[in-house]
Structure 1
């Protein structure tokens, strides 16, 4: 009978810790749409300090945060944004920048490390002299860590160069920083330095327009404060567990992981040709043992570590995967 759950689908599946639940229960709240919620104000003030920006704004999701930022920078309908072809905004956000904002996306190929070639970015910027034919380029978007590229961290030098490019052409720079703390910990560089070149805007009117004004949000902000103050320090352990998991997977016959590419808490592994199992079958097998993972394709699986995954969970996962793929139990027991 299954008695253990190891959820590796995403770092979005974490449950509130006891400290978070206590903070939520005791949160002092008011109406945030009216600008009166003290706990929301506390969180926004702290995040503005951490990021080195003038202001911060609590939003229900990273998708809404990205959408608001794009809409602020591209307030003229028909504006164009340059972004990676493998970016979260382009692939996973329902085309919101187009359907809601009338913003035209122009993609540049993402390299395996999440970057886009600077020369290709510059080549994609429209010539303002030909605005009668083309949309007007107003914004460039970057993502760090880059989820689809395996949680890669954009080097701060690269972000600075893109920032210089935006200034050269009179554009704005938005960074999708859903995992910016992972990047900060992995690179050993403060968040404010990583996003120094980025433009940041607090836009309460657009948040209200999009349905993001949730009134007594202090209950949620209290939990977020605990996460910022207590859980960021645990990210390095997540990264170490991801590397440990990648190394273990690479030792299982029939599987392949680019261990050196694992920089933060996201990793992918491939099921090699000739191995008598598909990604879907492996996922179903693991689910029977309480391990939840997501197939990326027929022979590729994504795993994401978070603070509620222990080293023991990693050992257990490796044991179950080895048993499923090779039929041979892990000699260490994995439990």
Structure 2
């Protein structure tokens, strides 16, 4: 009986939250928390998925084509997408899924599960394409965002699929570049406040895109990727007051992401400088996009008071997690401060090499 173990990490966004769906770049990294999918071939013609941590059992017929999709059914949508690439299941598996990525916390537990599932399917049944981390990531993006018509971007899938610290250029020519294989001093804090991903992203995306379209209607050669902070005043004159924060946030977040890329490209990392840019990025997310909640604010303030160089909310917002960068060796003090400020969990993390098959027998 064939036995396959597929592993996929969580991710944290270092720079570029609410940027990739605008065609702006992102810096993110996979982190050392993961989803583990263990599959043993059976003789029943079904996938029997035992999601241990949430006490759910799912049974999928291997011949099911899913002509209709239920919302957020990524098991189904990925099977549908992969069939187009020649991945056709012909035997069932008993599958056990476990993990230590907090659910609904902004560290992409759902995308990690999806990538672990896709990697398993490709390993088990093959595809008509060269299998690379980028291919697995693309299938994840198509399955989660495109197939379901969701408003998110591709950061989660490519940071988890490719691993390490990556710079993701989200517009043509699309590219994912590994800009680091480690980043010392990372700490994640989980607020325990559930985030509301799809609705929040949809609202912020719609307002930002509307602001951009209004500016384009007045400036024929406007290019969001080339706009600098000093250009804001002339453009904002043409925007209604309610849309200015969304436009300003896009420009400022892009600026801090560009500054961070310069830092990551240097021979040695200046963690203090990266932390300062993180703080600037968070201020935009907090004050302009207003995606934080009181407990997130308290956790970030506590981390900084405990000596962290920088800290920011991660992901769509409205709850979820934060990431901080501390002097290596002093992570435990930041962890304690986050917990004292109300975090339900906090821990140091390492950069992970990305989604992978760890066993095939």
Larger radius of gyration: 1
The higher-RCO structure (CA 8 Å, 6+ apart) is 2
Same fold (TM over 0.5): no
User: Normalising by the residue count of structure 2, what TM-score does the alignment of the two structures yield?
Assistant: 0.27
What TM-score, normalized by structure 1, do the two folds share? 0.29
